[in-house]
Structure 1
Amino acid sequence: MTATTTETVQGNPVLDAVRTHTASENPSSFLALNSGNSTFTVPGADGVVVYRRTGRYAVQFGGPFAAEADYDTLLDGFRRYVREEGLSLVGVQLQRADAERYAARGCTVNQVGASWAVSLADFTLSGTKFMQLRNKISRAHRNGLRIQEVDATEWQDAIATIDEAWLGSKGGAHQLEFLVGQIGGPVQAHRRLFLGTIDGAPVAYISYSPVYGSRTGWMHDLSRRIPDGSPGLMEAINAHAIEVFRAEGVAWLHFGFTPFTGLDASHELDGHSPAFQWLMHALWAEGAALYPAQTQLSYKQKWAPDVLIPEYVAFDGPQASLPAFAHIFRACNAF
């Protein structure tokens, strides 16, 4: 059994695993390729486990990305490895199929949020329900917005300028990691970047990462804009990208994971923690200081998603752990 970082792995088995092993249908699986992640493997087993170590915790991203025959081998091996290292395990962004297997091993599993997806086959912005969205998009174009798909390497200075302005407008917020995408690095060629400019000056961008499985397509991932810019920048860029994707025959646009959203008792598994379930609802209602879930969901709902995909957190033990939950946010560099 071995653990290493993705930067030191030869041949990038993580990319091979998330492309090939889609049984859990994790729409965010490409985030496993983020720099700074660590991987765990078992000799002879086809697949990887992706995680980050923070303090005395191993924070796992998704379930094992593994062949069905080797899933249990990797999961059980990773749990042993974590314990041998004197750590505690918490897994986040588990899909339903993952969650059931963790619960069967005595883990405490709860819904932690949801991701959202739009079917592009018959998507259109016409109709009354999209009137406000169309108005915002039109306003951005009237203000001179021009949109193009660009090479991130050629526009890295412009991207850095937008990032700096955006983070500055958030009171010096940290650059989030782990559960959000990146731009650059050895797998950038697999992502797509759409950039908006006004009078030649970059004002906003959206990065899309690939999604594999039965709902193959792209995920609306990292997005930034300059503060106090024209209304409708992000909406106009995403609408443009949708038209490009539709012309290419792309089936789905995913909007990624948002914690504390899409919560429903029907999504919970037997043995879940009622106290943790209450906490998730409380953070949805009052937790904007921790994460702006309501704002994020409002943007996603503008596009009338067709599918809600519940996502889960698993604590390796008989109860939910608040310190373990906090370390998910530490792994994300949230504080």
Structure 2
Amino acid sequence: MTGILTTGNPALHAIRTYTSAENPSSFLAVSEGNRYFQLPGHEGVIVYRRSGRFLVQFGGPFAPAASYRPLLDGFVAMAREEGLEVVSVQVQQADAPIYADRGFTVNQVGASWARSLADFSLRGTKFMQLRNKISRALRAGLVISEATDDRWFPALREIDQVWLRDKGEHARPLEYLVGQYGDAMQPHRRMFIGFIDEAPVGYISYSPVFGSRSGWMHDLSRRLPSRLPGIMEAINVHAIETFRTEGSAWLHFGFTPFSGLRRECELPGHDRGFRRLMELLWHHGEAVYPAQSQLAYKDKWAPDLFVPEYVAFHGSASIAGFAHIFRASNAF
């Protein structure tokens, strides 16, 4: 049994190969800074980061069916041997009963959202406001282009810094549950940039999504503070039309904590107190995560796929374990 830090290639193979990688955010598994647990004699990986006394696992095991449970059991055993606890986030609906059977308390923690692209169109009254915002941005001189190399990345890093300062003095760049760019995995991503007067003013990075609903995930997005509306929407429409031309079937919008909470999605044995906490954070948790504003942006695109996502605590639900998910993500 071994937990090892690698370059990400084992995870890339796993998320491409195994049906357990239906997680629409699975490409986050290859981010720099992740650790990978592998079990001799078994294929697949478990992705995690250490935070305090917790191992914070991302998703379920990315593994074939024969290795899935041995990997999970081995990971829990490794944690126990090291005196650590396990909390898993963005566990998928198919994973949840297996975790519950393995002694985890499993609760819905939010949802992912996606839009099918085959019949996507901005026609109709429900998209009128969105069309108007995009038109204003284009009339103001916004030009959108896909970056095919890294020459614009220094300018995008400057946008990141301005964007972060605009969030307030205590804002921190999130990690782990959001994507990266400019690393060794960059050739697998797509980057679309908006320019005004030939200078970048915003960008959206898209990560590949594998599995039965393959396509792209709207991942990292940043823009310079501006009163001009529609910049990010125009970039996204440009990317959508590119993906549609290429035959991509889905655009995923990724995971939004505390959103889409539905009682029918909970498993028997879920923690009712933790459920109430998630509902409270949806209504009043802006300081923890801006879930309502994030979902408002996704709702603009009329998503037609809802994917519940779960948190799993080995043993009882734990506020400390939940807090360490955000600590591992650099939220605090």
TM-score by length of 2: 0.98
Partners of 2:24 and 2:209 within 8 A in 1: yes
Aligned to 1:279: 277
Q: What displacement does 1:24 show?
A: 4.9
Q: Does 1:3 align with 2:3?
A: yes
Aligned residues: 331
Aligned to 2:206: 208
Q: Whole-Å Cα distance in 1 between the matches of residues 287 and 137 of structure 2?
A: 29
Q: CA RMSD in A?
A: 0.9
Counterparts of residues 73-88 of structure 1 (less than 5 Å): 73-88=70-85
Counterparts of residues 162-241 of structure 1 (less than 5 Å): 162-172=159-169, 173-241=171-239
Q: What displacement does 1:85 show?
A: 1.1
Superposed CA offset, 1:127-169 (max 9, x none): 0110011011101101110000003521111111110110010
TM-score by length of 1: 0.97
Aligned to 1:304: 302
Q: Whole-Å Cα distance in 2 between the matches of residues 176 and 221 of structure 1?
A: 12
Aligned to 1:42: 39
1:242 aligned counterpart, secondary structure: helix
1:6 aligned counterpart, secondary structure: coil
1:122 maps to amino acid: D
1:179 aligned counterpart, secondary structure: coil
Q: Does 1:156 align with 2:153?
A: yes
Structure 1 outlier segments of 4+, above 3 Å: none
1:305 aligned counterpart, secondary structure: coil
Q: Does 1:110 align with 2:110?
A: no
Q: What displacement does 1:97 show?
A: 1.1
Q: What displacement does 1:322 show?
A: 0.1
Greater shift, 164-173 or 213-222, is seen at 164-173
2:60 aligned counterpart, secondary structure: coil
2:283 maps to amino acid: A
1:15 aligned counterpart, secondary structure: helix
1:334 maps to amino acid: A
1:218 aligned counterpart, secondary structure: strand
Q: Whole-Å Cα distance in 2 between the matches of residues 288 and 168 of structure 1?
A: 18
Q: What displacement does 1:23 show?
A: 2.8
What are the ranges of 5 or more consecutive residues in structure 2 without an aligned counterpart?
none
Partners of 1:47 and 1:70 within 8 A in 2: yes
- CA change 1:230–1:29 in 2 (3 A) is same
Q: Whole-Å Cα distance in 2 between the matches of residues 256 and 183 of structure 1?
A: 16
Greater shift, 21-30 or 53-62, is seen at 21-30
Counterparts of residues 128-167 of structure 1 (less than 5 Å): 128-151=125-148, 153-167=150-164
Partners of 1:219 and 1:253 within 8 A in 2: yes
1:97 aligned counterpart, secondary structure: coil
2:287 maps to amino acid: A
